[in-house]
Amino acid sequence: MATINVYTESTPNPSTMKFLVNKLLINGSADYPDREKALSSPFAKELFKFNFVNGVFFASNFVTITKSDEAEWEDIEALLKDFVKGAVESELKVQEVVSDENVSFEGTETEVKIQQVLHDYVRPAVEQDGGAIAYKSFENGTVTVELRGSCSGCPSSTITLKAGIEGLLKRMVPEVEEVVAEAL
């Protein structure tokens, strides 16, 4: 068995930290914003046993953990790093039922274009910061997206949404007039 290495990266959201491993954890992503939603994930369920864990998000080779306001990263980072390493080494499952996430876009020609831009250009950048973006709808020139992981509740997510994502979509899909995030 190869040695599992875990390293951390801070994210734009001070309440979240990204724990990266040298192994694929999940195809796609999985968001567990609270204990109840984590019941289908053995890995997330174990993380929520720490009283300072408020959210867990998985994508490819990382887990983004949201901490409570009372906890300080310097007090919990090493503990979580050790836990993630042990969980990956023992092959603790991210999801009980693994869904094969084949990328397929649905809707009108404009909606498909929007989803393609989000998938090809926005998703990789957002994942780099420990988050994820999901397309929800397009109506009357307004694209609605859902922000997950470190993006959910991040102070800079509004700037990212308006200056970055909205600007990109307006340039690449002329029918887009505005991008808004749906609150979780």
Q: Is residue 102 part of a domain?
A: no
Tokens of 86: 């042990």
The average pLDDT across 8-29 equals 90
The average pLDDT across 149-167 equals 79
Pair 147, 116 in one domain = yes
Pair 13, 86 in one domain = yes
φ/ψ of 35, rounded to 5, equals -60, -40
> Residue 24 belongs to a domain with what CATH number?
3.30.1370.70
Give pTM, 2 decimals.
Answer: 0.65
The mean of the pLDDT values for the chain is 87
Range of the domain at 25: 6-90
The average pLDDT across 2-11 equals 89
Q: Is residue 97 part of a domain?
A: no
Pair 84, 19 in one domain = yes
Q: Is residue 57 part of a domain?
A: yes
Q: Which residue has the higher pLDDT, 151 or 81?
A: 81
pLDDT digits (tens, 9 = 90+) for 100-146: 456 678 899 999 999 988 887 788 778 777 788 889 999 999 999 98
Pair 84, 118 in one domain = no
Please state, in angstroms and rounded to a whole number, the distance separating the CA atoms of residues 138 and 143.
Answer: 4
Pair 119, 84 in one domain = no
Pair 168, 141 in one domain = yes
* Residue 101, pLDDT score: 53
> Residue 168 belongs to a domain with what CATH number?
3.30.300.130
Percent of all residues in the chain with a pLDDT value above 90, rounded to a whole number: 52
Q: Is residue 25 part of a domain?
A: yes
Question: Residue 149: CB partners within 8 Å, gap ≥ 6?
Answer: 16, 29, 31, 55, 57, 59, 64, 130, 131, 132
What is the Cα gyration radius of the chain? 17
Res. 88: pLDDT tops 80: yes
Total domains in the fold of the chain: 2
3-state secondary structure 38-83: HHHCHHHHHHCCCCCEEEEEEEECEEEEEECCCCCHHHHHHHHHHH
Q: How far is CA 69 from the centre of its chain?
A: 20
Pair 170, 131 in one domain = yes
* Residue 183, pLDDT score: 59
* Residue 127, pLDDT score: 79
Pair 66, 133 in one domain = no
pLDDT digits (tens, 9 = 90+) for 25-67: 888 788 999 999 999 899 999 999 999 999 999 988 899 999 9
Tokens of 184: 């979780």
Percent of all residues in the chain with a pLDDT value above 70, rounded to a whole number: 95
Secondary-structure percent of the chain, ordered helix, strand, coil, rounded to 5: 35, 30, 35
Q: Is residue 99 part of a domain?
A: no
